[in-house]
Amino acid sequence: MPIPYWRLSSFYWFYFAAIGAFIPYWGLYLKNAGFDTVQIGELSAVLVACKIVAPNSLGWIADHTGKSLPIVRLASFLAVLGFCGFLYAHSYWEYVSVTLVFSFFWSAALPQFEAVTLAHLKTDAHRYSQIRLWGSVGFIAAVLSVGWLIDRQPMAILPAIMILLLLGISVAALSVPEARAISHGAEPLKLWRILKKPEVIAFFTVCMLLQTAHSPYYVFYSIVLKQHHYPSTMIGGLWALGVMAEIVLFLFMRRLLARFPLRALLLASISLAIVRWLLIAYLADSTVWLLLAQLLHAMTFGGTHVASIHLVHRYFGSQHQGKGQALYNSFSAGVGGMVGSYASGYYFDAIGATGIYTAAAFCSALALLIAYIWIGRDDGKIATVGQ
């Protein structure tokens, strides 16, 4: 059966378009709604906390039933219904409740769809980046158009835009066909044996630290730029520039994976993350340095994500793929995102953007040390992919 390239790509387009409409502007929306920086950080922590529980719960169900795609479809539809609650929420606790419901289903959909994509690709897993890049295209389209809109329309327009994009995710999920099951042959390694490997433990620790470092970017980057008097259109442009750089990387990723070990890609990406956060910490008033920092997004997010997806694919095999992708999402976007969002919100007023992004650089440096010592050093099977 041929790979349903455009139907898989359409899901990523709508999913990351929703992220492009949501992440850069939700902090501004909450600030406009009257919430302070601590509350914004707490609401962002609630948003990502669901990524600890939801992907794992549904990942276990998907791997035991072999029904990843129906779970994606159901979760996508319930995410739309959940987000509609923001149309009626007013108080802090109402926002917390709606965020919990919406985030539970939204965060559960993507890890299982990653497993669906890899199931369709089978032995062509190196083509993943060619499909995933359309998510980056969707992000750019959304972040630019929403930035342009909210410079001209009330911020209250944002929930309506999100609902339309979330509906697009549901429709795209319905269009994707089931992947044919693969014969597993030998008895697969038990999950607990995979999880106790030092390299796997180190991998999830690195994922958690990297997402902790990214959290101030996702939660407060737009607010920091507003403090430096950048207009919303330019804020959207800076977000889009980072993702454009990511798309360029995805276009060349197949060649890079054939030429360089995953270990090298991961270490280079983490090293550049340290540089990026320090640039934002100390040179945010310089447009030139901000442009450079955004270009580094290609590696700090794109490079680490592709390397991580391939590592999960190698570590967990086909029978544990749903659980593996869910665990990756939980440790990175879940635990790391929750800790980073809460801490950055709690300390933002005390130490400012400079302190927050310096702390992000420190987390990335710690991740680099752990990755250098443990990940891909002695395992030849993880040396290369796509050959």
Average pLDDT over residues 9-21: 95
Of residues 58 and 4, more confidently modeled: 4
For residue range 24-50, list pLDDT tens digits in order: 899 999 999 999 989 998 998 888 888
pLDDT in the model for residue 383:
40
Phi, psi angle pair for 206, to nearest 5°: -65, -45
pLDDT at 202 over 90: yes
pLDDT in the model for residue 378:
63
Q: Where do the domains of the chain lie, and which CATH numbers do they carry? A: 5-178+187-382 (1.20.1250.20)
The upper half-sphere exposure of residue 298, i.e. CA atoms within 13 Å in the direction of its Cβ, equals: 15
pLDDT at 226 over 60: yes
pLDDT in the model for residue 147:
86
pLDDT in the model for residue 56:
77
pLDDT at 376 over 90: no
pLDDT at 195 over 70: yes
Average pLDDT over residues 168-185: 80
For residue range 296-309, list pLDDT tens digits in order: 999 999 999 989 98
Write b or e for each residue in 289-302: b if 16 or more Cβ atoms lie within 10 A of its Cβ, otherwise e: ebeebbbbbbbbbb
Q: What residue type is 375 in one-letter code?
A: I
pLDDT in the model for residue 188:
61
pLDDT band at 387 (very low <50, low <70, confident <90, very high): very low
Average pLDDT over residues 365-378: 92
For residue range 236-294, list pLDDT tens digits in order: 899 999 999 999 999 999 889 889 999 999 999 999 999 999 999 999 999 999 999 99
pLDDT at 93 over 80: yes
Give the C-alpha separation, 340 to 324, whole Å: 22
Give the chain's length.
387
pLDDT in the model for residue 180:
67
